[in-house]
A and B are shown apart, each in its own frame.
Chain A
Amino acid sequence: MSAGTGGTGRHVVGRHVVVVGAGPAGLAAADAALAAGARVTLVDSAEQPGGQYHRMLPDAYEAANPDVLQHGYNAFEQRSMRVIGHRRSTWLADTSVWAIERDDPSRAPLVHVLTGGLPRERRTLRPDALVLAPGAHDRVLPFPGWELPGVFTAGAAQALAKGERVAVGDRVVVAGTGPFLLPVAVSLLEAGSRVVEVLEAARAASATRGWLRKPWELAAQAGKTGELASYTAALARERVPYLPGRAVIEARGDGRVEEVVSARVRGDWSVVPGTERVTAADAVCVGHGFTPRLELAVASGCELRGSAPAEVFVEVDGEQRTSAPGVYAAGEVTGIAGAPAARAEGAVAGWFAAGGDPSARTLAPLRRARDQGRAFAERLAHAHPVGREWPGWLRGDTIVCRCEETDYAAVCAAAGDPVSSEARVARLGTRAGLGPCQGRMCGVTVAELRARLGAPDPDPAAPHRRPVAEPIRLAELAAPPAEREG
């Protein structure tokens, strides 16, 4: 790639690009920005790059074969070493963005970060361009008993298996919707758990329609489909039942999960009466898709697209530019599309954030891959939609907000009460979303439930507004900041 910031022989200091998130999108962004001549600061809350997709074992494990747990490990490792070892890059591991400050509306915002252990070091980054690639976390719809120990998000089970070699249980049920359930089940098998069954709420017809429509798009995502085929083969080898059209509707146990109740669900996820069945399990791993981590984009002033609470993402143009000056976005925050699409988006974002040449020949294949990734995302959403009748398995005393233990009855009462029909008032009244996780777990769900109950919040960004993105202690705020970066 040709440097976009200066001619050969001249020493030109490039733009300063700050990339938040070192998963597939962020690493690709950093790599492309460096190739375009920028100075890059890459920030991630983990100790190692990779994000959740390339979840790494800790250094202390000194693993001889880390690649056995990873798809595409070699390419990832090469890119990661190239980025971190680059003379124009600064790698801020174990670093969280706690605030975004829009001090000058005409340029990229200031990025306030905290690094390391106690006391964490406070620092302010002043980027010429900011690339947001914070990824997503599992979405889990509430069901009775989902707060019991032994109920994990699908991502937690995978993170523990891949990142620490901990198997979360002996008899595990994997449930929810989407292709991510497959690698989770395979990770569990690999770690020595018995996967009793994988329950995919989408009916076979819906999944098939979604996946078989426009098959040429799939060919373009060959990396992804090959990966999925290998998971399917692994499950078949171990004779793990994969049951479409079935959902976990309750977890039961005394102080921890002992059994789950599942039922057949229709296309809209309404429960088919009489199809309930009890399965003994000591762990349940659940994922109903993903929630993009939008708080930094919202704090940066980026416009969002979509109106249904679970379908809100950052709006970007063909160059991954958001509506906020100097702010780019890539990866799952622009739409849930998986690692190949995130890598392509990241590379486009990093290149343009660095002021790279818009006519560079390397851009064409990246843009193509990005567009194919978006088509894949749409297909995914079609194949695995969250059925609108899921609240049918809730009971009045089912916990909706895990932090504050707000139950479904309280959410319903607030939505029906004219005084608290306004979302902010309801939040104060029910306390849903006001606990330590700041509504990350329940925010989208509460917004969805309230919309159903006739009290929609007109602001789609509301579940993602967190002016303080990361808890900061008073002592850390009071301590003088480390030197401000230019």
Chain B
Amino acid sequence: MSPRLVPHATDPVRRMETPVTVTVDGEPVRGIAGQTVAGLLLASGRTAWRATGSGAPRGVFCGIGVCFDCLVTVNGERDVRACRRRVHEGDAVSTQARDERGER
């Protein structure tokens, strides 16, 4: 089983849901306005979206922009912290691997 969004109908905070569609590595993924990229990816059942230098999978760890584990590419911009970036309709999110950085 996996992470998920609290069901809208029973959420005691009584919130709105405005649908948003982004692509993740080309595949359309639905989310809601206000989510971060990390929140959308988790709610879509993904737990990992980055590969480290050794190829190990990583996703969210700190959730508040400190650890840089959740880095993704958004609309061509690399190394975006998924936990800090809100999604926008049509965003092209792609997963990334550390060795593409050309640093090693």
Q: Residue A256 at the B interface, CB < 8 A?
A: yes
The SS class assigned to the B binding surface is loop
Contact A156 B60 (CB under 8 A): yes
Given contacts A65-B13, A65-B14, A151-B61, contact A436 B48 (CB under 8 A): no
Contact B42 A168 (CB under 8 A): yes
Contact A403 B47 (CB under 8 A): no
Cα-based distance from A402 to B57 in the complex (angstroms): 12
* Closest B residue by C-beta to A159: B63
Contact A63 B14 (CB under 8 A): yes
Contact A68 B33 (CB under 8 A): no
User: What residues of A have a CB within 8 angstroms of the CB of B38 in the complex?
Assistant: 160
User: What residues of A have a CB within 8 angstroms of the CB of B3 in the complex?
Assistant: 160, 166-169, 283
Contact B62 A153 (CB under 8 A): yes
Cα-based distance from A436 to B77 in the complex (angstroms): 16
Mark interface residues in A116-159 (1 if CB within 8 Å of B CB, else 0).
00100000000000000000011000000001011111011101
Task: Place the interface of chain A in its size category.
Answer: 35 or more
Q: Residue A81 at the B interface, CB < 8 A?
A: no
Cα-based distance from A340 to B102 in the complex (angstroms): 47
Contact of A166 among B6, B13, B48, B56 (CB under 8 A): B6
The SS class assigned to the A binding surface is loop
Contact B57 A256 (CB under 8 A): yes
Cα-based distance from A404 to B34 in the complex (angstroms): 32
Stretch at the interface among A54-62, A323-331, A356-364: A54-62
Interface centre among B5, B48, B56, B66 (most CB of A within 10 A): B66
Name B's A-contacting residues (CB within 8 A).
1-7, 11-16, 18, 32-36, 38-39, 42-43, 47-48, 52-54, 56-69, 71, 77, 79, 83-84, 86
Name A's B-contacting residues (CB within 8 A).
45, 47, 52, 57-66, 68-69, 118, 137-138, 147, 149-153, 155-157, 159-161, 164-171, 191-192, 255-256, 282-283, 402-405, 435-437, 440-441, 471
